[in-house]
Structure 1
Amino acid sequence: MQSTKRRRWLQAAAAMTLAGLLASDPSISAVPVESAEVPQAIVNSPARAVTADDDDPDIAKLLGLSEEEAARRNAKIQNRRIELVSKRAETSSIYVNPDGTLTAESYAGPVRVKQDDGSWHYIDTELVDEGAALEPETAAADIAVSDGGDKKLASVSKGATSLALGWEDTLPTPTVKDDTASYDLGDGQTLTVTALKQGFSQNVRLDEAPSGDLTYRIPVTLKGLTLSETDSGHLLLKNSAGKLVAEAPAPMMWDSSVDERSGESKHLAPVDTEIETAADGSQALVLRPDAGYFAQDLTYPVTVDPTNTLAATTDTWVATNYPDSQISSTELKSGTYNGGTTVARSFLKFDLADYEGAKVIDTNLALYSDWSSSCTEGTGTAVRRITESWSSSTVTWADPPASTTTGQVINTAAKGYSADCPAGTMNFDIDAIVRAWTSGTANQGLLVRGVDETDSYTWRRFRSANYVSGDGSTEPHLTITYNHYPEVPSAPSLSPSTDTNVVTSRTPALSTMVSDDDPQRVRAQYAIEPDPAYNDTTYTLSSDTPYVDTMEAAVLAVPEASPLPDGKHLRVRAQTFSRIKCPVRDAAA
């Protein structure tokens, strides 16, 4: 115990001594010293004494280190991963691990948003009253929802483009709960608008069967966008260059009955949709629910889902009963619950362009399952590599992109049916797929499906990139642990030697320049062996240098105990290591 206390005291004393010396300069302030009872790793710098857990953003500058160099040092000292904050983005994060590798977390959609002051906030779509309208707390687009008293239902804008939906009658003051505003329209009808990450969804809830035919005419106001409809009823919003910037699936309606296996309504139906363009160029989305649908034995309320408005995303799902791409859904689906009568498949994609050529060490695809058809596992869920280009705006059940079983990964877990198998994350170790992408195979994304699409135990409902967890924990994300290959070393040199590659000592020094794109230390391994052009000796030597900083010479002296043979022909090869090998670089001597 005494030795421990003394060691802590010595650490504190080191900081005090340095700070005291600097304090003698009136232009430099003394640095407060941590309590001697709290162990701290001390890093001395010419400017100040700094502890490794100091969160001051100037620490890297004070130590003369780049952000990544400082992160690597602190990750090792603190034995925990350190985020490279400058690399943080709406859909990804990169961390330095204690062993020097890097870990990237990539999402299929945004989970955070950068604020005007440079800070990052996780997306939070709870609606708050901002005066002129209701707005989500934090979203990846500018979203406004009517607080009543006007006909401007909701709008979303990003950059120079915007979309606004109206209502034919003046809206009443809504009831607001979390991310949803509800408007009482009378006659047993309630209009709701829900804020999403990049847009909004709206629907009409009917508490009883309508007395006559229903028609909803929704005025559409566009800026920099053009609205169109595909043959399947899919709604597209394109900019002046023809680029897809937002889309919505074909409208559907359903009642409140619940199939205990699927967790979904037993009565689904498409809604007839038309885009009207008036003489003045104004447009409206017109929806006409089929009156015949309400003649069934339905469980009310019935939901008529006019449209979901959202920026183009990279995950979606289709099914035999939802044949159009469900891009704005907050969930993904796969498998079957009724022997193959209803089958669903999901598609998602992650941007991995920054990791091309990297050495992939480990991967994990995390999908959060909040519903399964049973606690019985069945044949499981498969993740496959998609092999052809696809778009969330064009994929349908009848026309899915091709995929391959090469590298396929299966997880048989059943999560989300009951307390006996509660909702949770299903993990897929897709190393082979990601290595194919980083090695040059085109990244066309992933297919998620049931292994046997007639197995009723394969039904899964996962949370999608549109779901808002508040911390990115349950949205689909791909984690990749990787490293970059060190550079091929320069041609090895030997000293002393002549210009004709004749070594003038039997214990020369070998030297090569080593470097790594990652700011980590590198070592060289030298191999001295017979020159095959002469093959006049059996001498061999293989030895490693100590680790040196990148862009420095890695030097090795041939030991006295293993001198080179006199008058023989040898060659020298050098290979660099960080945590992984790179190709060798040969040179003869």
Structure 2
Amino acid sequence: MSSVLAVAVLTQVAGQGPAAADDGGRVSGSASDAPQDPVEKALLQAEESGEPVEVLAERTETSQVFANPSGTLTQDTYALPQWVRQDGALREIDTTLAKNADGTLSPKATEVDVRFSGGGDGPLVSVRRDGRGLHWTWPGELPTPRVENDAVTYHDVLPDVDLRLRAGSAGFGQILVVKSAEAAANPALETIKFGLEGDGLEVEADEHGNLTAVNPAGQEIFTAPTPLMWDSSSSADGAMARGTQGPESPPADEFTPPHGAREATMGVALDGQHLSLIPDREILLGEDTQYPVYLDPSVSGSRYAWAIAYKKTPGTSYYNGNGWRNSDGSVGTKDARVGYEDVTNGLARSYFRMNTKNLWSTDKVVSKSTFRIKNTWSYSCTAKPVQLWRTAAIGSSTSWNNRPTRREMLDSVTAAKGWSGSCPAGNLAFDVTKGAKDAAASQWNTITFELAAANESDVLGWKRFEA
């Protein structure tokens, strides 16, 4: 599960007077009455079983409510959706691709309607949200793709160049894989021109190449970070100097950035119904370039938000992890990051926007609130402090150069998890009671948290988290 804001509340049960707690913290009331309210039923079941019981009627795309044996309720709020509503019911997010009647391919249950081409000369990919859509077209006929779980590969869209798409919960990642120097010398890669058509949307680009698609009311519907490219260079050292027995580097999975890769941003040009990407020639054709070379544009349409601010690419937005480049060539990540990592010379902070609107209810009193997040990787087993701050809001333009203002530090936790069996991955819990109480009292719709290493020049403070 992703990052969780757990709020313990005292509640006034329907049909009773103001909530009152006995010595065990239970809300007073007659257990012999046959409760009809879902909360009452769950509280009674929890009291009888001695275990928390979920109030299923209170579940939303991003939250769950549990009745506790003590008579209190705990609300878990997630930074990103865990479920999506389909045909009137909530389903777990499932990005596995399935074939549509028209031959296109779509993920089974996601926030945004995504359709990948089944081959031919139609749109390469279409995304739709709130009745408005974007459609990308490859400049040429597409081969029938190879489908693997949530991804498709179109082989040899240019000689020795593959095109890959991967579905996410709120959009898609896209990469061009240039597999040789001969392929990189193809004049078609000097400028890569996609057809781009907006259905009720206007697409704009800022000076850094971050794209936004807005509706006539000016609301952002889709975003795309600065497109990046990188080669397959790697660094063989870095982890060996840590002096702690364990793996030499983070696990080589789709959420791990490449160590030692040469990288650059790509130029972006919008011209009518065309989007052009201009690769960096030094990375594409340089003497030291290691192939394959990966070229990455990607798109997100999530209503919910977390973000990475990364000093190495200070103008690039990694909103909802979108656009982050990984060691296996895939794009997009669900891993938040904090601290300084000397192998890649990267410094990161991570942000989480949590929904607090349903804390306004007058029959709820916040008694305790905890922000809980899984620490999946640390630089070593040496415990180092991580700070949690309340900040101003984040948005699709959040980057290292556009970080939200810090308001107050709420907690600090000193720990290290995930480096080896001596300190396995596990949750860190931050006390954010003051922030939750302020959100309820001031009727804030959301609250935003920042995770940051206490010492941002100490490599032992580098950590990765499940967002």
Q: Say whether the fold is shared (TM-score over 0.5).
A: yes
Query: Which digits, 9 at most, give the CA deviation of each residue in 1:88-132, with x for residues without a partner?
Result: 11111112111111111111121112231x432100101112232
Per mean C-alpha deviation after superposition, the further-off stretch among 173-182 and 73-82 is 73-82
User: Paired residue for 1:414?
Assistant: 417
State the one-letter code of the partner of 2:223: E
1:176 aligns with 2:147: yes
When residues 420 and 151 of structure 1 are mapped into structure 2, their CA distance, relative to the original with a 3 A threshold, is farther
Equivalent in the alignment of 2:457: 454
Picking from 278, 301, 305, the partner of 1:310 is 301
- The residue aligned with 1:301 is 292
Does the CA contact (< 8 Å) of 2:163 and 2:177 recur in 1? yes
Worse-matched range after superposition: 125-134 or 422-431: 422-431
Displacement after TM superposition at 1:205 (Å): 1.1
* 2:215 aligns with one of 239, 242, 248: 239
Give the Cα separation in 2 of the matches to 1:73 and 1:165. 53
Query: Counterpart amino acid of 2:109?
Result: T
Q: Does 1:384 align with 2:389?
A: yes
* Structure with the larger RCO, 1 or 2 (CA within 8 Å, 6+ apart): 2
Q: 1:351 aligned to 2:355?
A: yes
Residues 340, 455 of structure 1: 8 Å contact kept = no
CA distance in 2, matches of 1:339, 1:253: 18
2:434 equivalent among 429, 432, 435 = 432
Verify the 8 A CA contact 2:304 2:353 in the aligned structure 1: no
Pairing partner for 2:201 from 207, 225, 244: 225
8 Å contact kept, 1:244–1:312 = no
Aligned to 2:341: 337
Distance across 2 between alignment mates of 1:420 and 1:176: 39
Contact 1:339–1:454 (CA under 8 A) maintained in structure 2: no
Aligned equivalent of 2:317: 325
> Structure 2 unaligned runs (5+)?
1-32, 240-249, 251-255, 323-331
Q: Identity over the aligned pairs, expressed in percent?
A: 28
Q: Residues 105, 418 of structure 1: CA spacing in aligned structure 2 closer, same or farther, 3 A cutoff?
A: same
Change (3 A) 1:264 1:119: closer
Could you tell me how far apart the structure 1 residues matched to 2:179 and 2:274 are? 25
Equivalent pair of 2:337/2:465 in contact (CA under 8 Å): yes
Q: TM-score, with normalisation over the residues of structure 1?
A: 0.63
Q: CA deviation at 1:274?
A: 1.0
In structure 1, how many angstroms separate the alpha carbons of the residues matched to 2:367 and 2:125? 46
| Residue aligning to 1:107 | 78
1:395 to 398, 406, 422: 398
- Could you tell me how far apart the structure 1 residues matched to 2:150 and 2:312 are? 28
Distance 1:212 1:174, change over 3 A: closer
Q: How many residues get paired?
A: 394
* 2:163 paired residue number: 191
1:211 aligned to 2:215? no
In structure 1, the residue matched to 2:265 is 270
Q: CA deviation at 1:237?
A: 1.0
- Alignment partner for residue 164 of structure 1, among 135, 138, 160? 135
> Is the 2:225–2:299 contact (alpha carbons within 8 Å) kept by the matching residues of 1?
yes
Shift of 1:397: 1.2
The aligned counterpart of 2:100 is 130
TM-score (norm 2): 0.78
The alpha-carbon distance between structure 1 residues 134 and 342, as it changes in their structure 2 partners (threshold 3 A), is same
- Are residues 201 and 82 of structure 1, via their aligned partners in 2, closer, same or farther at CA, if it must alter by over 3 Å? same
**Cα distance in structure 2, aligned partners of 1:256 and 1:419:** 30
Shift of 1:296: 4.8
1:372 to 2:365 alignment: no
Alpha carbons of 1:143 and 1:383: their partners in 2 closer, same or farther (altered >3 Å)?
same
Structure 1 residues 538-565: Cα deviation after superposition (integer angstroms, max 9, x where no partner): xxxxxxxxxxxxxxxxxxxxxxxxxxxx
Name the CA shift for 1:256/1:360 in 2 (closer, same or farther; >3 Å).
farther
CA distance in 2, matches of 1:197, 1:340: 28
Q: 1:332 to 1:406 in 2, by over 3 A?
A: closer
Question: Aligned ranges for residues 38-187 of structure 1 at < 5 Å?
Answer: 63=34, 65-116=36-87, 118-132=88-102, 133-184=104-155, 185-187=157-159
Q: Which moved more, 1:197-206 or 1:431-440?
A: 431-440
RMSD over equivalenced CA pairs, Å: 2.4
SS at structure 2 position matched to 1:250: coil
What secondary structure is seen at the aligned counterpart in 2 of 1:131?
Answer: coil
The one-letter amino acid paired with 1:229 is A
Give the Å deviation of 1:360.
2.4
Give the 5 Å matches for 1:531-550.
none
Q: Tell me, what secondary structure is at the counterpart of 2:367?
A: strand
Q: Say whether residues 1:253 and 2:234 are aligned partners.
A: no
Question: Structure 2: how far apart are the matches of 1:300 and 1:369?
Answer: 33
